[in-house]
Chain A
Amino acid sequence: MKPPRFAYYDPASVAEAVELKSRFGTDALVLAGGQSLMQDLNTRRTRPDALLDINRITSLQELQVGPTHLELGALVRQHRLETDPAVRRAVPLLTGVTHHIGHVENRHRGTVGGSMAQADPWAELPTAAVTLDAEMVIEGPAGRRVEAARDFFTGRGTTSIAPDELLVAVRFPLTPADAGWGFVEVARREGDRAMAAAAAQLRLDDAGRVASIAIGLTSITDHPVRAAETEAQLLGQVPTADAVAAAARAVEQQVDRADDVHATLGYRRHLAITVTQRAVLAAVQRAQEGDRP
């Protein structure tokens, strides 16, 4: 249970990191918060030739609230999403989901960019990104490009980041003042991986009908997805408990994870419906109450 041999680099700038990634390609792995990669190194599930520790790149630690977006540098620690009032004001769903990521000891060190690039099917932040239509800011030898979260996650542990590219920031649209959000996760114990989780954000019009809605699901397939059918059924409707329960049933078809030690397919389907229903109802309640700090 010790890391294998690797060549250690700690670039001081994004340009230097991109240069190293171009040089090593798939033989190098990026070390951000290390809460997943260090596990894989210690257990030797992975043996990279080179480890690129980006923790010295101070520009990646910045958090900025702009006129339209909250921009989180790739190295912003997850704990900050829970504790920084600026995050809660800008994108309250982020604060809500972060508490569910591992334990606080992991969140002190774990980063926003690391969670996105790791792209675990059960991860909370990728689900928040897909739900809120976040944008990934990626830097490579040819410069910067921006990719929509829903195109970024391509499968279990895979993303659209090319071997010579580095994820440098994630931009979340600021949450409208009248929006409500909800996040519900079911795990065996505090800090365990989600067996299923749902994030929802919505707005209601003056008549109490759903004016806009986004629902994202965790841990039901190999990457985070939107519950498009449920969203479509609820749009323009008054979200009564019965209407939400009926619409939530549509997510059942999206669950395709095979039985594993955590849950059977049937149980996961049941959970997916339940968390969707509860997350939407929580969002409705917040939208009705105007729960904004």
Chain B
Amino acid sequence: MTTQAHMGADPTVQRVITARINGRDVTRAVDTRTTLADWLRDELDLVSVHLGCEHGVCGACTVLLDGQSVRACLLLAVQADGHDVETVESLSGDPNDLHPIQQAFHEEHGLQCGFCTPAMVLRTKEILEERRERTDEEVRQEISGILCRCTGYQNIVNAVQCAARKLYAGSPAPIASGTGTGGSTDPHPGA
């Protein structure tokens, strides 16, 4: 609020918001017309949030909002105030110590150019938190909101199934303590 009062900003044009981003509380002044996708990329440097179409068609900008996959180009940053946002940066940035889902995409060649990959990885995390078992056909349907122009999807489907095996191998399954089903509001979905 001090920033806002100090700058004398009109609250219909600029707000100070606090959002939990990849497990950390972040407080910033944002223009009310800035989309969540632009804010994450341009202000917070979370460049895994890719912008393909910028109007809700391609799914490349998918992030998890309170544990649920959403299109970040169809949200305003100000709407994230008080909410939890997760991008793929929360998994692993270390090529020698990948998260099991990232490792699965690597092993199964689940990417070519990589443009859709952050979205695919997050969606994979979300659906595998719901449950492990799916037919290939069901996996295709679950990822149908994200366009991939390279792979033809087959290797992405293989990667999702491979990730399911990795995540649920042995017990306790590390991911099972996550957000659970789609209706959850657990503020800490980090892996």
Contacts and interface: CB of A to CB of B under 8 A. Distances in A.
B183 A83 contact: yes
Contacts of B123: 105
Contacts of A103: 59, 144-145
B128 interface: no
A191 B145 contact: yes
Interface in B153-191: 181-183
B16 interface: no
Contacts of A1: 53-55
Contacts of B183: 80, 83-84
A47 to B, nearest CB: 11
Interface stretch (A37-45, A224-232, A238-246, A248-256): A37-45
A140 to B, nearest CB: 23
A6 interface: yes
Which range contains the number of B residues in contact with the other chain? 35 or more
Interface in B133-161: 141-142, 144-146
B101 interface: no
Contacts of B79: 53, 55
Contacts of A102: 145
B157 to A, nearest CB: 14
A280 B73 CA distance: 39
A106 interface: yes
B39 to A, nearest CB: 12
Contact of A105 (B62, B141, B181): B62
B74 A39 contact: yes
B35 A2 contact: yes
Interface stretch (B21-29, B63-71, B87-95, B102-110): B63-71
A105 B62 CA distance: 8
Interface string A66-110: 000000000000011001100000000000000000111110110
Contacts of A2: 33, 35, 38, 54
B4 interface: no
A84 B181 CA distance: 12
A250 to B, nearest CB: 34
Contact of B69 (A42, A51, A84, A105): A105
A139 B190 CA distance: 41
Contacts of A55: 79
Contact of B55 (A9, A10, A39, A108): A39
A4 interface: yes
A10 B13 CA distance: 12
B56 A38 contact: yes
A8 B32 contact: yes
Interface in B1-44: 10-13, 15, 32-33, 35, 38
Nearest to A35: B74
B71 A106 contact: yes
Contact of A35 (B12, B54, B56, B142): B56
A102 B181 CA distance: 20
Given A7-B13, A83-B181, A190-B141, A104 B69 contact: yes
B75 interface: yes
Contact of A42 (B13, B15, B35): B35
Contact of A104 (B12, B56, B78, B142): B142
A135 B97 CA distance: 55
B59 A108 contact: no
A144 interface: no
Given A38-B73, A104-B142, A108-B69, A3 B33 contact: yes
27 contacts: A2-B38, A3-B76, A5-B33, A7-B12, A8-B12, A8-B15, A8-B76, A31-B76, A35-B71, A38-B76, A42-B35, A42-B54, A42-B55, A43-B55, A53-B79, A79-B68, A79-B182, A80-B183, A83-B181, A105-B69, A105-B145, A106-B56, A106-B71, A106-B145, A108-B65, A108-B68, A191-B145
Closest 8 CB pairs of A and B: A103-B145, A8-B32, A1-B54, A7-B12, A38-B74, A190-B144, A108-B68, A39-B55
Given A7-B13, A105-B59, 19 more contacts: A6-B32, A7-B12, A8-B11, A8-B33, A8-B78, A38-B74, A39-B55, A39-B56, A39-B74, A42-B73, A42-B74, A53-B79, A103-B59, A103-B145, A105-B62, A105-B69, A105-B70, A108-B65, A191-B145
